[in-house]
Structure 1
Amino acid sequence: MNKPLLFNLEDHFKAPLAALDDVEMGALFQRTFPDGESYVRLDTNVAGRDVFFIGSLNQPNAKTLPLLFAAQAARAQRARSVQLVAPYLAYLRQDEAFQSGEAVTAHSFASLLSGFFDHLITLDPHLHRIGALERVYQIPTTTLHAAHPIAEWIKGNVENPLLIGPDAESEQWVRDVARRLACPFVICRKTRSGDRQVKIDLPPLPENAGLTPVLLDDIVSTGQTMIQTLKLVTQHTQTPPVCIAIHAVFSDESLLKQLGHARLLTCNTIAHHTNLIDVSSLIVTAIKSASSRWNS
């Protein structure tokens, strides 16, 4: 039985993936023509193999087409299965039409990927009204969760944490991590009036001067949600807050200049200098599990 074949598109996952002794790393070449078109070539024979493409889908408009070309090339070369490992999965924001004529891109993107891959592995997708990936993807999906490594980092680095979720969507992550730490948590209320305009209402905080505020959200993009929450929290505590995001999208790096004395860190689903929480072991385990299922 041939080993599963991994095509890694993320430099920061090279080391943990290289440690896998029951898979083979494939070689992929890609470049961009002067007119902007993509050239993709698989330099490893994939015939009869279970193929995994590993790449986060931040900057999805630039990354998706080359990825689909690679998947189609694997199909054309008769790969047994073609699977996608996307630690960060894009296009989950627009999950319904709020105005007449809007494209429901969560469904459109899911249909697109479902047509090229047999299985999707991702980590903490930005689910809100959808509820579960299976409701929009037409292929089997595996959802991983960063709650354990986040809780372990907090346990080793923060005294008396008070977890704070900036909005209702964050409660699923905040509640899980708080349960693991047996610590208090509160959830704010957010009103959004534009891509960069948000209003945060902070609930009453526990009256304990020894608590360290830990803001937790799944995505930091423009950063306005986190910054507005941080401004309110710092009015009620002298302890410098800690800000944690799972996915370091960072569409606006100027956020980092507005943190004051707060500390910001992220998981390494997307490479960024704030990556302090390693989730690569979750991804490696999921690949091993998927390989076993396809080979059983």
Structure 2
Amino acid sequence: MKTILINLESDQVLAGQLCQALNAQQGEIELRRFPDDESYLRVLTDCQHHNVVIFCNLYQPDNKILRLLLLSDTLRQMGANKIGLITPYLAYMRQDKQFNPGECVSSRPFATLISASLDFLVTVDPHLHRYHSLDEIYSIPSRVVHAAPLIADWIKNHIPKPLLIGPDSESEQWVSRVAELADAPFQVLHKIRRGDYDVEVTLPEVERWRQHTPVLVDDIISSGRTMQETIIHLQNAAMPRTTCIAVHGIFAADAYSQLNAVADVVSCNTIPHPSNQIAIAQAIASATRELLEE
């Protein structure tokens, strides 16, 4: 039974890599909008009795989620076997607690919506801050691809004498794993966040690491303020030029240009961006095959 992969408004290059890695048939769909801005969707590939994987990167999800639900329902009506979702960036994971009365803890209703429409989910390092696993909110089988081995390999091949630096105490377990795989020392920042763009960081003693290249590692770079503050401290300590690495490079507003002016910026290709240097297709394909074979 041939697996069919349908790219729903996402990175064409990564979609092609996934299709090849999965030895899948490329599914064809027709998408357009009616004059009233409602969506028209038609599946052109015969999907009856086939497993179908939808590649839909849910970065900036609000313009994609309705079409994803329309597509999954159409595939179900066509008699598709399993219908899975590959989304390198899983949206609505950062709001995982109610901080003020009346706030929507959006990670939960979003997970309910996805779980009701699909049979499995594959993603890359979702923002699991207060959740121990996706199973706490998603009721479908899932696989999380961990970028730590991929980042460690990149560091070993590109950075001489690296010193890995994590953004806060919560990152220690993750950054220590990358450091272990890269056979490198690491330090963790002490961070106080007062708002989206108001972050204060302090570094442990760095004198002993002056001959090392600092490598700031985080799962998400959004505003970039934490890294910018850290780079100032590293510059004041007369350390070599910093490398900033993110699994997911969101780079809100002018975050990338500001970081790129003072550091080398690298990201996994979970979100298409000029900083993409770390490939994820093979790891995603491997996780997807596991779920298709279950």
Fold shared by both chains (TM-score > 0.5): yes
Query: Does structure 1 residue 5 correspond to structure 2 residue 4?
Result: yes
Task: Give the gaps of 5 or more residues in structure 1.
Answer: none
Using the TM superposition, give the Cα deviation of residue 64 of structure 1 relative to its aligned residue in structure 2, in angstroms.
1.2
Alignment of 1:1-296 (within 5 A): 2-9=1-8, 10-20=11-21, 22-205=23-206, 207-293=208-294
CA distance in 2, matches of 1:188, 1:270: 26
Which deviations, in whole Å up to 9, do the C-alpha atoms of 1:23-81 show, x marking residues without a partner? Answer: 22111222233443222221112222111101211101112111111111111212111
CA distance in 1, matches of 2:65, 2:231: 34
Structure 1 stretches of at least 4 aligned residues deviating more than 4 Å after TM superposition: none
Using the TM superposition, give the Cα deviation of residue 254 of structure 1 relative to its aligned residue in structure 2, in angstroms.
4.2
Structure 1 length as normaliser, TM-score? Answer: 0.93
Using the TM superposition, give the Cα deviation of residue 206 of structure 1 relative to its aligned residue in structure 2, in angstroms.
5.3
| Contact 1:32 1:39 survives alignment (8 Å) | yes
Which deviations, in whole Å up to 9, do the C-alpha atoms of 1:203-231 show, x marking residues without a partner? Answer: 22251321110000011112222222222
Using the TM superposition, give the Cα deviation of residue 260 of structure 1 relative to its aligned residue in structure 2, in angstroms.
3.0
CA distance in 1, matches of 2:195, 2:35: 36
User: What is the aligned-residue RMSD (CA, Å)?
Assistant: 1.7
CA distance in 1, matches of 2:216, 2:285: 28
| Contact 2:21 2:281 survives alignment (8 Å) | no
CA distance in 2, matches of 1:225, 1:47: 49
Between 1:223-232 and 1:213-222, the stretch displaced more is 223-232
CA distance in 1, matches of 2:81, 2:120: 12
CA distance in 2, matches of 1:21, 1:172: 31
Quick one: structure 1 residues 146 and 202, their matched pair in 2 at CA, closer, same or farther if it must change by over 3 Å? same
| Contact 2:28 2:44 survives alignment (8 Å) | yes
| Contact 1:267 1:275 survives alignment (8 Å) | yes
| Contact 1:227 1:255 survives alignment (8 Å) | no
Using the TM superposition, give the Cα deviation of residue 114 of structure 1 relative to its aligned residue in structure 2, in angstroms.
0.6
| Contact 2:21 2:282 survives alignment (8 Å) | no
Aligned amino acid, residue 135 of structure 2: E
Equivalences, count: 292
Aligned amino acid, residue 44 of structure 1: T
CA distance in 2, matches of 1:192, 1:21: 42
